Structure 1
């Protein structure tokens, strides 16, 4: 059975049925069309000016949310192909996974969550679903309501990293990949987006209604792998860390407090030795030369291959012989792989994310986002982009209008948030 035949008509269904394309147009499968829609979405372009770890204007080498998403998509597609799941579904989910990030990433998310507590809260993954199914402009239903990009059920399900609402979320713990503490509960749908969420989750059987589809699990692992490796790469090139000179005690304290609580020294030592045994692990300090850059790229490639290869083998070993698609299988990540990824995250956290200059900058960013929300709220309709004014006009109460303000501010990039703040708060 080919890969397309492993997905039924329900997986290809859209909220609004679409007629076939003209007969002389190039033939594209439904999931290929979904990928193109995400690539061409306005929210995708905005990722180029949104923070990953270091702000996108600080250096022309460091990653922003767009370059990170492209790298996650490449890892996800390759792993999906190796597992036999649909590469277009998984790649589209990876391309979309950060669309809901507000300006200044998780730092901005924290502020928006606090300021939207009375209108349903804010969470980047829930905002991604809102963008894909409402805020992006592509398709309208028979009643004239936007259904966003009108993606297929399988793709929307793959984009749902946290398939539950705010009321079902557990308390936050640890930190995000960018080093900010987790103070926002993780959930994937706002209450007023529940109808489309219920639609995309049709067919989820079994005892756990919160179970993620396999494609979402692959997307999530690809995200984890990409930022664990690439944040270290960015830190090396920025001159903030040296893999040949690691403070073991400080590193293990960071790994345990941020990512892997309860992991003992022996497990962490073993993980670091495993990483150092990779042939491309540096034996000398980075000096900025072309040869040093090539060495880092080789290390990045080798580590990604190591992690994905181990996961592929473990997943195949646990499979029951059925197709590895949707809700018929789960991804298996070996404990050793989880610890090695955690060690890499800890290296970036210790040497990059705890830097004093970054901590002070993040405090100012939070102030700016909070002030911007309040000034847009005070000025109301006139402070909104035209695309949000109809939402404001049709809002039935202050909670709904507050959500429009949150959608507006969340849509901004780092730079446009600064510019908008300067224009409105002066």
Structure 2
């Protein structure tokens, strides 16, 4: 494995495609810690643009269009998928990155890749696969996203994976157990897992992608929850953040009705959170006095809500957990998703010849099975489950 070093021959002059008005604490492509496999610079794109482009062209990214967010694919064509969620995270993250002077291409690349390792059937599938892999190293979807971009994508003649920059990979691995961090550190000393052992932070762009993820899923789960009929506007008005937005919509547009009321309330709620993050993060960065990306890594987390907004976001998350994620209809669907994943794991483990050849021939059978299942879309997992068990679930 190649060591990280200088940015593949790039100079510190602004390369083609470099975003203007970067803050001193932003990640700079010309100062990147590089790629695992050194690659000549591109003539028209900075290194973080190349990361984003590689992610968008990957097979794993295309699969996100048929992977569950909350509602399983067969439940409706207009509910969010992992792909639409990732796009919304990227849009929000770029909107916040620009006024803060952070690198928009990097924050977008991280946002687009952060769910590449997610299983079918959302968190239920992830939990089931982790249970199946309990004796074989477990399963963490953030670590799986890193496995996808480092190993499981096969697009280039000279190496496996997408060969992303250190900064993109660092942002993708937003959570990691200490046991897995030690394993990664042994294979890549001083690499993307080092911060979990040293208890330092990732780049500000990575911190921003993480917070934008939270903002995006809270907002779109409100939309999908109301669309599905599992949430009502009356219920939501018990949530201060939403109620405040709804009150201003009714004040400004008293004749507005139908879905436009909900859309406008969500839009205003999102805007309020974006402006809050920009202001709170700017203040935190100024107070910390950081003057470089590495200084930001050594500081406390800096991309943040204000204290008041953090509490209001927490209230919204608790509401969604109690009223949407734990709704009996959602619980029933996710229970069946768990069953599909567990039974697929057992079937492939007992009959590895049913796996695709590139997985069937691997010596690490259980990890190969986990990699194969994690890469499935919801509908492919359901078809495979029916083929292998003769039973149809979630029809």
Alignment of 1:422 with 2:390, yes or no, is no
1:159: how far off?
1.5
Please list the CA deviations of residues 306-364 of structure 1 after superposition, one character each: whole Å capped at 9, or x if unmatched: 11211211121122354574652621322211222122223333332222222222222
Q: Answer whether contact 1:214 1:324 (CA < 8 A) is retained.
A: no
Q: Answer whether contact 1:52 1:63 (CA < 8 A) is retained.
A: yes
Q: Provide the rounded CA distance (Å) in 2 between the counterparts of 1:94 and 1:3.
A: 19
Alpha-carbon distance change, 372 to 233 in structure 1, aligned in 2, over 3 angstroms: same
In the alignment, which residue of structure 1 is the partner of 2:338?
Answer: 366
Q: Answer whether contact 1:214 1:326 (CA < 8 A) is retained.
A: no
In the alignment, which residue of structure 2 is the partner of 1:78?
Answer: 95
Q: Provide the rounded CA distance (Å) in 2 between the counterparts of 1:32 and 1:297.
A: 32
In the alignment, which residue of structure 1 is the partner of 2:4?
Answer: none
Residue 277 of structure 1, aligned match among 208, 223, 244? 244
Q: Provide the rounded CA distance (Å) in 1 between the counterparts of 2:215 and 2:86.
A: 12
In the alignment, which residue of structure 1 is the partner of 2:35?
Answer: 14
In the alignment, which residue of structure 1 is the partner of 2:7?
Answer: none
TM-score by length of 1: 0.76
Q: Answer whether contact 1:49 1:65 (CA < 8 A) is retained.
A: yes
TM-score by length of 2: 0.82
Residue 119 of structure 2, aligned match among 102, 122, 126? 102
Alpha-carbon distance change, 415 to 290 in structure 1, aligned in 2, over 3 angstroms: farther
Please list the CA deviations of residues 85-105 of structure 1 after superposition, one character each: whole Å capped at 9, or x if unmatched: 101111111111111111111
Q: Answer whether contact 1:76 1:90 (CA < 8 A) is retained.
A: yes
Please list the CA deviations of residues 96-155 of structure 1 after superposition, one character each: whole Å capped at 9, or x if unmatched: 1111111111101111111112221101101001001110113465xxx52x10001111
Pairing 1:177-188 to 2, within 5 Å after superposition = none
The secondary structure found in structure 1 opposite 2:304 is coil
Alignment of 1:225 with 2:215, yes or no, is yes
1:385: how far off?
1.8
Q: Provide the rounded CA distance (Å) in 1 between the counterparts of 2:52 and 2:124.
A: 28
Q: Provide the rounded CA distance (Å) in 2 between the counterparts of 1:343 and 1:355.
A: 17
Pairing 1:125-136 to 2, within 5 Å after superposition = 125-136=142-153
1:229: how far off?
1.1
Q: Provide the rounded CA distance (Å) in 1 between the counterparts of 2:84 and 2:106.
A: 19
Pairing 1:130-279 to 2, within 5 Å after superposition = 130-139=147-156, 146=160, 148-162=161-175, 164-167=176-179, 191=183, 195-196=187-188, 198-200=190-192, 208-245=198-235, 272-273=239-240, 275-278=242-245
Alpha-carbon distance change, 247 to 294 in structure 1, aligned in 2, over 3 angstroms: closer
Alpha-carbon distance change, 155 to 344 in structure 1, aligned in 2, over 3 angstroms: same
Q: Answer whether contact 2:23 2:100 (CA < 8 A) is retained.
A: no
Q: Provide the rounded CA distance (Å) in 2 between the counterparts of 1:336 and 1:324.
A: 28
1:65: how far off?
0.9
The secondary structure found in structure 1 opposite 2:270 is helix
1:245: how far off?
4.3
Alignment of 1:315 with 2:281, yes or no, is yes
Q: Provide the rounded CA distance (Å) in 1 between the counterparts of 2:139 and 2:193.
A: 21
- Runs (5+) with no aligned partner, structure 2: 1-19, 391-395
1:215: how far off?
1.5
Q: Answer whether contact 2:276 2:306 (CA < 8 A) is retained.
A: yes
Q: Provide the rounded CA distance (Å) in 2 between the counterparts of 1:274 and 1:52.
A: 22
Alpha-carbon distance change, 360 to 74 in structure 1, aligned in 2, over 3 angstroms: same
Q: Provide the rounded CA distance (Å) in 2 between the counterparts of 1:58 and 1:421.
A: 18
Q: Provide the rounded CA distance (Å) in 2 between the counterparts of 1:325 and 1:334.
A: 22
- Runs (5+) with no aligned partner, structure 1: 168-186, 249-271
The secondary structure found in structure 1 opposite 2:335 is helix
1:224: how far off?
0.6
